[in-house]
Chain A
Amino acid sequence: MVAATALAEAATQPAAGAALDIEQVSHAFDIDGTELPVLSEVSISVEPGEFVALLGPSGCGKSTLLRLVAGLDKPKAGRLREDEARITRPHPSRVVVFQDPTLFPWRSVWDNVALGLEAQGILRSQRHRVDDALDLVGLASFRNAYPHQLSGGMAQRVALARALVNDPKILILDEPLGKLDSLTRITMQAELVSLWQRKGFTTLLVTHDAEEALVLANRVIVFSDRPARVKADIRVDRPYPRHRGDPYLADLRRQILGLLGLDATW
C-alpha cells in the first residue's frame, strides 16, 4: 500500500509535532440572546508528538474545543498556543479532519488532496506531495475518481490525505471514524496509529468511543457534561499495536465509563 517514496520521506523527516497549550479556556454560544456555556476553564498542555484523545458525553463541547484549537472560532476567555505562538486564526500547520469527509464534490480525489497546497499557492512546485499523500492512504489508483464514486471509508481516507499533505504539526480529528462501519473503523484505527508513528505529528482526537480512545491514544482526557471541564487525565502506557482484549485497557475502560456515569451498564 505504502509507496517507497513516502516511506523514505517519512524516515528522513524529524519528528514534526508541535506543543499545544490550552490555558483556562472558556467558551459560550449565543442562542437567542441567552448565553449557553460550553467550555469552562479548560486547561490542557499537550507535549509535541503526543496522541491525546478527548472523551466525553455527546454534545459536551469537545468539538467546540477542536474548533478553537483549529482557530476557526475565538474563545470567550483564556488562551490557546501552538509552540508558544498564540492561535488566532486557522493555519495549515493545524489541520482538521471532520466527522464528515466534506470532500468538494466538484473536484477529483487528486484535486481534493491538492486543496491545501493550492490554497497556499505552492501546488505548482509541490505536486509530488499530493501523490505521496495519496500513496500514504493507499488511494493512488483513485486519483481521478469523483467523491460520489467513493465509499465512506475511502472518502474519509481522502480527507485524511488532504490533511496530511500539508505536513501538519497538529492533526485535529473530530470523530473522523464515527460514521464508518465497524470493520472499516478498525482498519483505519490501525492506519491512523501507523501514520502518527511515522510522521510524528501531535494528534488531538475527539471521540465518544472509550475503546477507540484507549486503542489509539497515549493520553485520554475525560470531559464532564456541558459546560465541559476536564474530569480526568489518564495516561495509557501501553506499546503499539494494542489489543482490544488487553486486560489493562479493559480496566481503564471500566474506569472511564465510570467517570462518564455508565458503570452501571457494565
Chain B
Amino acid sequence: MSTYSLSDGLASGAPRSAPAFAGWVRDSGIGVLASVAWIAFGLSCLWWEDVGDWSRTHSLGIAAFVIAAVALFGTVGADYLGPAGKALRQRAPWLVALGAFLTVWEVATAKFAWLPLPFFPPPQSIIEVYTDDLPKLLDSVFASVKLQLGGYLIGATVGFLTGVSIGWSRAVGYWVHPVLRFIGPLPATAWLPIAFFTFPSSWSASTFLIALATGFPVTVLTWSGVASVSNAYYDVARTLGAKPSFLVLKVAIPAALPHVFVGLFMGLGSSFAVLVVAEMIGVKAGLGWYLQWAQGWAAYANMYAALIVMSLLCSGAITLLFAIRDRLLVWQKGTVKW
C-alpha cells in the first residue's frame, strides 16, 4: 500500500496526502458506502409507518444499524482485524448491493405497497417466520435432510457399483445396459403415482425415487469413466503382477473417479427436484410440504422463508460434495471451485 502511494507521489510530484487519500478511498470507501446502504435500510424501516401489521419492523431497523456499524468499523479498521477484516473488505461491494436491495424491497412493500401485498411480503415478515415458526421449519429441514440423505446415499452407492460392473464386465453390460437405456432417461417423478401405491409408505417410495434420480447419472458416468481408462494403465499394472481385483480397485476406480464426481453432482441436482415434488405430493413432512402448506394458507412470507432455507441447504450440499471431491482428487489440476 505505502510503496504504491510513495512512488505515485514521487512520479507526479504531487503532495503525498492526495494519493494516500485515494488509497484510503479505495480500501475503505466501499465499506463506508456499504455502511450508508445499511443505514438507509434501517431508516427505511423506521421512518415510515408500516402499511400492514408486522411485529419485527423495529428490530429489523436496529439490526440494520448494527450491520452498518460492523461494515464501517470492519472495513475501515480491517488492517487490525487480520483475515476477518480482509474477508469483510473483499465482500464490501456485495454488502452495498444487499443494503440497497433491502432498502428498495422494504420501501416497495412494507411502506408504500407498490408491489401487491400478500404476494410480496416485506423483509420483516420473513424474519418473523424465522423467529415465530422456527420449530415447524426446523422439523421440516430435518425431515428433508433425512429423506434426501438416505435416498441419495442408496442411489449413489447402487449407481457406482452398477457403473463399475457395466464398465468392467461385458456380461453385466449385456443385461444391464438395455434396462438402463429403457428406465434411466425417464424422469424419476414420472414414477410418483406408481411408487406411492406400490411402496408400503410414502417415505420408502420417496427414498426409492430419490435413489433412482441419483442412480442414473452416477451409473452412466461411472460406467463411462471406467470404460475410458487407458489400456496402457492396465498393461503397466499387469506387467507388475496385478490381479484382476487390483485392476478394478486400484486402477479402474481411481482413474474413473473424476467422472464419478460429475455423476454425483448431476445426481444431486436431479434428486433435489424429486425430493421437493415427492414432499409436495406424498410425504407429510419436509420443506416441500412446508411450501405446499404455506401456499394453502396463503402464507407467502413462509414460502419465501422456506425457499431461502432450501436454497442454502442445496447449495450447502453441493459445497460439501465439492469439498469431498477436492480432497479425493488433489492430484487433479484446474478443478472448478464452487
Interface residues of A, Cβ cutoff 8 Å to B: 70-72, 90-92, 94-96, 98, 100, 102, 104-108, 115-116, 118-120, 146-148, 162, 166
Task: Tell whether, in the assembled complex, residue B254 and residue A106 are in contact, meaning their CB atoms are under 8 Å apart.
Answer: yes
A72 touches B239 (CB 8 A): yes
Is residue B181 within 8 Å, beta carbon to beta carbon, of the partner chain? no
Q: Is the CB of B254 within 8 A of A95?
A: no
Shortest Cβ gap from A115 to chain B (Å): 5
Q: Are B236 and A92 in contact, CB atoms less than 8 angstroms apart?
A: no
Among B240, B250, B331, contact of A105 (Cβ-Cβ < 8 Å): B331
Q: Which of the segments B6-14, B170-178, B241-249 contacts the partner chain?
A: B241-249
A102→B232 contact, CB < 8 A:
yes
Residue of B nearest to A166 (CB): B240
Residue contact B239 to A115, C-beta cutoff 8 Å: no
| Distance between Cα atoms of A229 and B92 in the complex (Å) | 75
Nearest CB of chain B from residue A95's CB, rounded to whole Å: 6
Contacts A106-B331, A146-B331 hold; do A118 and B239 have CB atoms under 8 A apart? Answer: no
18 pairs, A vs B, C-beta closer than 8 Å: A71-B239, A91-B241, A92-B240, A92-B241, A95-B240, A96-B236, A104-B236, A104-B251, A106-B331, A108-B331, A115-B240, A118-B250, A119-B237, A119-B241, A119-B243, A146-B331, A148-B331, A148-B333
Distance between B249 CB and nearest chain A CB, rounded to angstroms: 11
Chain B residues 305 to 338 lying within 8 A of chain A, measured CB to CB, are: 329-333
Residue of B nearest to A102 (CB): B232
Given that A106-B254, A119-B246 are contacting pairs, would A90 and B239 also be in contact in the complex, using a CB cutoff of 8 Å?
yes
Q: Which residues of B have CB within 8 Å of A104?
A: 233, 236, 251, 254-255
Q: Is the CB of B241 within 8 A of A120?
A: yes
Known: A104-B251, A146-B331. A70 touches B233 (CB 8 A): no
Report, as a range, how many residues of chain B touch the other chain: 20 to 34
Measured between beta carbons, the chain A residues less than 8 angstroms from B237 are 115, 119
Task: Determine if B233 and A102 form an interchain contact, defined as CB atoms under 8 angstroms apart.
Answer: yes
If the complex has contacts A104-B251, A119-B243, A166-B241, are A96 and B331 also in contact, measured as CB distance less than 8 A? Answer: no
B253 to A, closest residue via Cβ: A106
Q: In this assembly, does B79 line the interface, its C-beta being within 8 Å of a C-beta of chain A?
A: no
Report Cα–Cα, A252/B246, bound state, in Å.
46
**Closest Cβ–Cβ distance, residue A190 to chain B (whole Å):** 25
A116 touches B240 (CB 8 A): yes
Within the complex, the shortest CB–CB distance from A31 to chain B, in Å, comes to: 17
Total contacts A to B, CB within 8 angstroms?
A: 67
B235 close to chain A: CB less than 8 A: yes
Whose C-beta in chain A lies nearest to the C-beta of B234? Answer: A72
Is residue B227 within 8 Å, beta carbon to beta carbon, of the partner chain? no
Q: Restricting to B201-242, which residues have a CB under 8 Å from any CB of A?
A: 230, 232-233, 235-242
> Is there contact, CB below 8 Å, between B233 and A119?
no
Query: How far does the alpha carbon of A115 sit from the alpha carbon of B257 in the complex, in Å?
Result: 19
CB pair A98 B235 closer than 8 Å: yes
> Other than the known A91-B241, A96-B239, A106-B255, what 12 A-B pairs have Cβ atoms closer than 8 Å?
A71-B239, A95-B240, A96-B236, A100-B232, A102-B233, A115-B237, A116-B241, A118-B246, A119-B237, A119-B240, A146-B331, A162-B240
Q: How far is the CA of A96 from the CA of B238 in the complex (A)?
A: 10
List residues of chain A with CB within 8 A of the CB of B255: 104, 106
**What residues of chain B lie closer than 8 Å to A95, measured between beta carbons?**
239-240
**What is the minimal beta-carbon distance from B233 to any residue of chain A, in angstroms?**
6
**Chain A binding site: helix, strand, loop or mixed by DSSP?**
loop
Chain A residues, CB < 8 A from B241 = 90-92, 116, 119-120, 166
Across-interface contacts of A166 in B (CB, < 8 A): 240-241
User: Is B254 touching A94 in the complex (CB atoms < 8 A)?
Assistant: no
Residue pair A90, B238 in contact (C-beta under 8 Å): yes
List B149-186 residues whose CB lies under 8 Å from chain A.
none
Bound form: Cα–Cα A203–B338 in Å: 50
CA distance A95 to B240 in the complex (A): 6
Most A Cβ at <10 Å: residue of B233, B236, B243, B251:
B236
Which 7 A/B pairs are nearest by Cβ-Cβ distance?
A116-B240, A92-B241, A119-B242, A90-B238, A120-B241, A106-B254, A102-B232
B243: nearest residue on chain A (CB-CB)? A119
Instruction: Please report the C-alpha to C-alpha distance between residue A263 and residue B294 in the assembled complex, in whole angstroms.
Output: 90
Alpha-carbon distance between A69 and B273 when the two chains are bound, in angstroms: 55
**Most central of A105, A120, A166 by chain B CB within 10 Å:** A105
Distance from B181 Cβ to chain A, minimum over Cβ atoms (Å): 27
Minimal beta-carbon separation of A63 from chain B (angstroms): 11
Write the chain A residue with the least CB distance to B240. Answer: A116
A96 and B235 CA atoms in complex are apart in Å by 9
Nearest residue, chain B, Cβ from A98: B232
Residue of B nearest to A93 (CB): B241
A244 to chain B, nearest CB (A): 32
Cβ–Cβ < 8 Å partners of A106 in chain B: 254-255, 257, 329, 331
- The interface centre, meaning the residue of A90, A106, A118, A148 with most chain B CB atoms within 10 A of its CB, is A106
A106 to B251, CA, bound (A): 10
A72 to B238, CA, bound (A): 8
| Among B241, B243, B255: residue with most chain A CB under 10 A | B241
CA distance A240 to B250 in the complex (A): 41
Expressed in whole angstroms, the minimum distance between the Cβ of B229 and any Cβ of chain A is 10
Instruction: Name the residue on A nearest B329 (C-beta).
Output: A106
A147 to B240, CA, bound (A): 19
Least CB distance, B334 to chain A, in whole angstroms? 10
Give complex CA distance A64, B246 in Å: 25
Q: Name the CB-closest residue of B to A122.
A: B241
Q: How far is the CA of A102 from the CA of B237 in the complex (A)?
A: 10
